[in-house]
Structure 1
Amino acid sequence: MAWLLLNPLAVRMYHLYKESNVMQKNKPSSIKGLFLPAIALCSLFVTGNVAQAALVNYSFTGGVSNISGALLSPTMNLTSHVTGSFQFNNATGGVGGNYPGAVKAMTVTIGGYSSSFTPGANAITISQNTNLGGGLLGDRWNLATAATGLPTSGYTPYSFELLLDREGGGLFSNTNLQNAPSLSSLTGTRWRLIFQDAEGNLTQVRGAINSLTAVPLPAAVFLFGAGLISLVGLGAGGLRNLRGTQQA
């Protein structure tokens, strides 16, 4: 019954259910079959909302615009298609538009090569009127995280970065942590995967993205399904109680 603690309405329904048991102990039990589904319904909606309140998932696709000669291979080159995803906690605290530890997952596949999130330094940064490079100023949504993957040509993934820019600003009204902006509102997108060798030398592959899509959280879907199953099961139990009372 731990889920009751998250839902005051469910708590109230549970107490009413207990009171009805005392009042109806010598009467038909059909009320029991009605109260339990109601409690499950309260829990279903609130639990689902809690699950979706903090974690946000995105998928993206793109291409390669530049790659170091050391990384060139038949499976990773300038013609490689890029796919990936990332997850972040939009309830992460921060100061001045910087939210360290917000990133919870990341994958990027470049042709036949894949890299993924690893615990370490990561952050999402929301910037207004910042230097975008090339003498341009504007707003930026920036994700950066430590990365891992198999060695290739003596280099191992070190970090991944995604930059979503709008020249001239107007992308954000404040620097609170917020969802990634839509591609239609941007003037530039960049990603890069940085590699490091045993001596600490760095090299990279980079490009742009051409699609960015928010995707449902599997955990939220699972909780909704589990709650729905409970609701149906409890409702069926109530119908059996009602039929038994009618037959008596």
Structure 2
Amino acid sequence: MRTMKQLFRKGFILPAAAVCSLLSPFTAAQAALVQYSFTGTVGGANGVLRSDLPVGSTMTGTFSFDNATSNTGIGRYPGAVQSLSLNIGSYSVSFDPAGDVNLVRITDNPSGDLWRLRTSVMGPGIGSGIGQYSPTEFRLDLEDEDGFAITGTGLQDPPSLGNLTSTQWRLVFEDAGGRMVRVQGVLNSLTAVPLPAAVLLFGAGLISLVGLGAGGLRNLRGSRA
């Protein structure tokens, strides 16, 4: 009898342990990565950008950050940004993983809260010859001058736009001589992107597998009783 019980115990524990070993790192990784989509409007552009990225153009994009990133100072999280894509009309830029700038900054202050994302970007140049400008940096500033939108300086999701007094973004360009121009505007929407359905189904399937294993063991024990 003892040998049979040991076999049942091992037969259930080993598959369950295998499932848990697969599920634990998977869920931890998914919990750390946070993704958002956003839309905005171009409110101003200078230099050569005025004709290619005119005022009133629609801006769309996505970004993701790792909310498990460690801070190197109060509210400063370098390396947190994991991806970014940005489109203004037919013009597109993307996250530059080899760039010098990658930071999420959180400020919780009675005189004003700030949730800031800054990252290096790459994309096609605008202009021609010595007058060509290349994209270098994207910055998103979500501010509440009343100081109520953010609690604490831990790395957290961006606040709801309805709780903010300013939602500014800017895309900076630079030419070979170091001269800078920029296009900027306001954010109109910011939406959390849920996990893909396939990810949720995968997790549910693993949990069901554990449940079936436990149920099968109970049924077998019941028939032997």
Query: Could you say whether these structures have the same fold, taking a TM-score greater than 0.5 normalized by the shorter chain as the test?
Result: yes
Alpha-carbon offset, residue 73 of structure 1: 3.6
Name 2:37's counterpart in structure 1. Answer: 59
Alpha-carbon offset, residue 206 of structure 1: 0.4
CA deviations on 1:103-136 (whole Å, 9 max, x unpaired) are 1111111111011110222111111338xxxxxx
Which residue identity does 1:58 align to in structure 2?
Answer: Y
TM-score under structure 2 length normalisation: 0.78
Name 2:115's counterpart in structure 1. Answer: 141
Name 1:9's counterpart in structure 2. Answer: none
Name 1:199's counterpart in structure 2. Answer: 177
> Which fold has the larger relative contact order, with Cα–Cα distance below 8 Å and residues 6 or more apart in sequence?
1
**Residues 227 and 24 (structure 1), Cα distance of their counterparts in 2 relative to 1, 3 Å cut:** farther
**Ranges in structure 2 where 5+ consecutive residues have no aligned partner:** none
CA contact (8 A) 1:37 1:234 kept: no
**Residues 67 and 229 (structure 1), Cα distance of their counterparts in 2 relative to 1, 3 Å cut:** same
Q: Would you say how many aligned residue pairs link Structure 1 and Structure 2?
A: 211
SS in 1 for 2:177: coil
SS in 1 for 2:48: helix
CA contact (8 A) 1:60 1:210 kept: yes
CA deviations on 1:35-85 (whole Å, 9 max, x unpaired) are 5664466456544431233111111011110012401345x3223211111
In 2: Cα distance, 1:231 partner to 1:73 partner = 57
**Ranges in structure 1 where 5+ consecutive residues have no aligned partner:** 1-19, 131-136
**Residues 35 and 143 (structure 1), Cα distance of their counterparts in 2 relative to 1, 3 Å cut:** same
Q: Percent identity?
A: 44
SS in 2 for 1:72: helix
| Most deviating of 179-188 and 158-167 | 179-188
In 1: Cα distance, 2:81 partner to 2:161 partner = 20
1:80 aligns with 2:57: yes
In 1: Cα distance, 2:118 partner to 2:61 partner = 14
Name 2:105's counterpart in structure 1. Answer: 125
| Most deviating of 33-42 and 160-169 | 33-42
Name 2:4's counterpart in structure 1. Answer: 24
| Most deviating of 86-95 and 170-179 | 170-179
CA contact (8 A) 1:64 1:78 kept: yes
CA contact (8 A) 2:167 2:187 kept: yes
TM-score under structure 1 length normalisation: 0.72
CA contact (8 A) 1:106 1:117 kept: yes
